Chain A
Amino acid sequence: MRREQTVNACLILALLAAPVLAQLAGEPFFITLATRVTILALAATGLNIALGLGGLVSFGHAAFFGIGGYAAGILATHAFNGMPLFLGIPGTNQMPVIWIVAMAAAGLLALPIGVISLRTSGVYFIMITLAFAQMIFYFAISWPAYGGEDGLSIYVRNAFPGINTLKPMPFFLICFSLLAVALLVFSRLRDSRFGAALEAARQNPERLAAVGIAPNRIRLAAFVISAMVTALAGALFSDLNRFVSPSMLSWQMSGELIVLIILGGVGRLAGPLAGATLYVLFEYALGGITEHWQLFLGLILLAVVLFARGGVIGMLAGRAKHG
């Protein structure tokens, strides 16, 4: 087994072990913490498809995270108060349905955003994705139907057939399973023909076009898939907090997702997981001491960018290998 696979397996097992130990020790709070790591890792795994594999630095993925969150919140609200959504369609509190709606909504939104944004590259791409996300952010703030600036509460966590989602452990396991599926999808995608074309589009789009593969179609597909995975995480995040607010759509959220990937290792399978683990542990450990804990996070980020380009995974497993 290659070293990176060992590191990845250790990280995933640690994520699974932490809540089990917390359960045994009677400290359910740590299960919630692990769930938070899992969901952020899932969101960043989505972004990692666009950013890590495709080199598309989207500074607007909070839009998709938030769309997922609002999909869960809005559907749950309608299920709770019995009012139809529109055209007599009822809300729902069933997670699988919510996930599908969240992913579909984000995919449909990512398509036009991608088409327009991919006409640019570099700094302009960063700025235009940010602009789209800000538009959606201000829309959410100014639309009173679903709480506007105050956000939207989910009174009872949404349900999954046969599982009691109200307890922390089963909910964690749902999130963990989805992360595992997403990581599997990421690794298959990366090794596939699509992944080869996507990584080539990042490294040298002229070369890719010269062999007859149009880079932008590949990038657009990656952007849409990426948005859908991040939206799924958004739906889970709402259920974790039982609350959605425009802060999920904010540019700080987009930045946080990028930070997770850079901390963990850009384009690496377990990079987002490593980054999310570090981030949440930091938030927990330093957040108790000072509210300015992000200052220390900033210092670490600076160190990673200057001295350890490959992030945590790069430090533990060495450089990425391409076949």
Chain B
Amino acid sequence: MAEPVLEIRNLSKSFGALKAAVGVNFDLMPGEIHALIGPNGAGKTTLIHQIAGTLTPDEGEIRFLGKDVRSLSVAERARMGLGRTFQVSSLAQEFSALRNVMLAVQARQGTSFRFFRPVMSDPSLTEPAMAALQRVGLQDRADVPAAELSHGERRRLEIAIALALEARVFLLDEPMAGMGPDGSRELTAFLDELRHQAPILLVEHDMDAVFALADRVSVLVYGRVIASGPAAEIRRHPAVREAYLGEGA
């Protein structure tokens, strides 16, 4: 069996008495979409934060591409290929969509300590950025400041940024949030394609999307993984139905 791209062992994190993660085990294999579901406050976003490096776990191990990344900063992990999107869009608001993506291209190419060449006339930045925008269908909105984009467009711009990073893993924190049915369908089809580029850790509340996309599903409740397995199995799992999907589901 292939090596997992991302591997989390016995991860624990608490904020005072609140346990956000209790001995969490989780892994992500090449080519798969592994969905993480659970009720609000279960610790899903906290887990993403710990993988990305914005929060430090109390205990446990996070291995990315076989390497322990706990001592690495957010920026260092991103340079290794962790591409994340945020639950609430996090963009450089004054920059155009294109410039937001160009930032990722620039980071990918190495040092930002270059002081003289104007970025806007540098095709090695603009062309890959434009290509990433095209893949998410934002090419016509390239010059629009991020602050003026619609909610759905901002979500897609976040994905374009992760694409431009040439991420080795995508950490997608509720990409469907607030997208509307059409938007969700479109994005679902897109993510289905995206898995061929890099595996996806998908945190999502939209169950249609989760069960349409995920190869495996893990269920997080009060910081514990109560079930993990193939999507079809999780759908039938009694504890999951009770804790999360509701009796009627």
Q: Taking beta carbons and an 8 Å cutoff, which residues of A are in contact with B? A: 188-189, 191-197, 199-200, 203-204, 206-215, 218, 221, 320, 322-323
With contacts A211-B161, A323-B98 taken as known, whether A197 is within 8 angstroms of B112 at the C-beta atoms is yes
With contacts A211-B104, A323-B96 taken as known, whether A191 is within 8 angstroms of B119 at the C-beta atoms is yes
Kindly list 6 other residue pairs between chains A and B, CB separation below 8 angstroms, not including A196-B112, A200-B95, A210-B90: A193-B111, A196-B102, A197-B112, A214-B73, A322-B95, A323-B95
Q: Could you give, for residues 58-72 of chain B, a 1 whenever the CB lies within 8 Å of some chain A CB and a 0 otherwise?
A: 000000000000000
Q: Which residue of B lies closest to A206 (CB)?
A: B90
Least Cβ–Cβ distance between A211 and chain B, in angstroms? 4
B113 contacts across to A, CB distance below 8 A: 193-194, 221
Least Cβ–Cβ distance between A29 and chain B, in angstroms? 39
With contacts A197-B103, A208-B103, A322-B99 taken as known, whether A191 is within 8 angstroms of B78 at the C-beta atoms is no
Q: Could you give, for residues 71-109 of chain B, a 1 whenever the CB lies within 8 Å of some chain A CB and a 0 otherwise?
A: 001111011000010100011111110111011101110
Least Cβ–Cβ distance between B47 and chain A, in angstroms? 16
Q: Which residue of A lies closest to B84 (CB)?
A: A210
A322 contacts across to B, CB distance below 8 A: 94-96, 99, 145
Interface residue total, chain B, C-beta cutoff 8 A: 41
B114 pairs with A192, CB closer than 8 A: yes
**B33 in the interface (beta carbon within 8 A):** no
**B24 in the interface (beta carbon within 8 A):** no
**B236 in the interface (beta carbon within 8 A):** no
A210 pairs with B112, CB closer than 8 A: no
Least Cβ–Cβ distance between B162 and chain A, in angstroms? 9
Least Cβ–Cβ distance between B236 and chain A, in angstroms? 37
**B118 in the interface (beta carbon within 8 A):** yes
A200 contacts across to B, CB distance below 8 A: 92, 95, 103
**B15 in the interface (beta carbon within 8 A):** no
A194 contacts across to B, CB distance below 8 A: 112-115
Q: Which of A189, A196, A204, A214 contacts B106 (CB 8 A)?
A: A196
The docked-state distance in angstroms from the alpha carbon of A193 to that of B93 is 17
B94 contacts across to A, CB distance below 8 A: 199, 203, 320, 322
Least Cβ–Cβ distance between A288 and chain B, in angstroms? 41
**B134 in the interface (beta carbon within 8 A):** no
B161 contacts across to A, CB distance below 8 A: 211
The docked-state distance in angstroms from the alpha carbon of A221 to that of B94 is 22
B84 pairs with A203, CB closer than 8 A: no
**B6 in the interface (beta carbon within 8 A):** no
B116 pairs with A199, CB closer than 8 A: no
Least Cβ–Cβ distance between B109 and chain A, in angstroms? 9
**B201 in the interface (beta carbon within 8 A):** no
Q: Which of B73, B76, B120 contacts A323 (CB 8 A)?
A: B120
Q: Which of A188, A213, A320 contacts B103 (CB 8 A)?
A: A213
A207 contacts across to B, CB distance below 8 A: 90-92, 100, 103
The docked-state distance in angstroms from the alpha carbon of A320 to that of B117 is 20
Q: Which of A189, A210, A218, A221 contacts B52 (CB 8 A)?
A: A210
Residue among B54, B111, B113, B165 facing the most chain A CB atoms (10 A cut-off) = B113
29 contacts between A and B (CB under 8 A): A191-B118, A193-B111, A193-B114, A194-B115, A196-B112, A196-B119, A197-B103, A197-B106, A199-B92, A200-B95, A203-B93, A203-B94, A204-B90, A204-B93, A206-B90, A207-B90, A207-B92, A207-B103, A208-B75, A210-B52, A211-B161, A212-B79, A213-B103, A213-B106, A213-B112, A218-B112, A322-B96, A323-B99, A323-B143
Least Cβ–Cβ distance between B114 and chain A, in angstroms? 4
Q: Could you give, for residues 216-237 of chain B, a 1 whenever the CB lies within 8 Å of some chain A CB and a 0 otherwise?
A: 0000000000000000000000
The docked-state distance in angstroms from the alpha carbon of A10 to that of B84 is 46
With contacts A192-B115, A196-B106 taken as known, whether A209 is within 8 angstroms of B99 at the C-beta atoms is no
Interface residues of B in 36-52 (CB under 8 A from A): 52
Q: Which residue of A lies closest to B101 (CB)?
A: A211
Least Cβ–Cβ distance between B184 and chain A, in angstroms? 24
Least Cβ–Cβ distance between A88 and chain B, in angstroms? 36
A193 pairs with B92, CB closer than 8 A: no
Least Cβ–Cβ distance between B167 and chain A, in angstroms? 10
Least Cβ–Cβ distance between A191 and chain B, in angstroms? 4
A189 contacts across to B, CB distance below 8 A: 115-116
B106 pairs with A206, CB closer than 8 A: no
B111 contacts across to A, CB distance below 8 A: 193
B92 pairs with A204, CB closer than 8 A: yes
Least Cβ–Cβ distance between B147 and chain A, in angstroms? 10
A193 pairs with B84, CB closer than 8 A: no
With contacts A192-B117, A196-B102, A323-B120 taken as known, whether A211 is within 8 angstroms of B95 at the C-beta atoms is no
Residue among A199, A200, A206 facing the most chain B CB atoms (10 A cut-off) = A200
Residue among B92, B107, B119 facing the most chain A CB atoms (10 A cut-off) = B92
The docked-state distance in angstroms from the alpha carbon of A34 to that of B240 is 76
* In the A-B complex, the 7 residue pairs with the closest CB atoms: A212-B78, A191-B118, A212-B79, A214-B75, A209-B74, A212-B107, A197-B112
B118 contacts across to A, CB distance below 8 A: 188, 191-192
The docked-state distance in angstroms from the alpha carbon of A199 to that of B145 is 14
B115 pairs with A188, CB closer than 8 A: yes
With contacts A203-B94, A206-B54, A213-B103 taken as known, whether A193 is within 8 angstroms of B117 at the C-beta atoms is yes
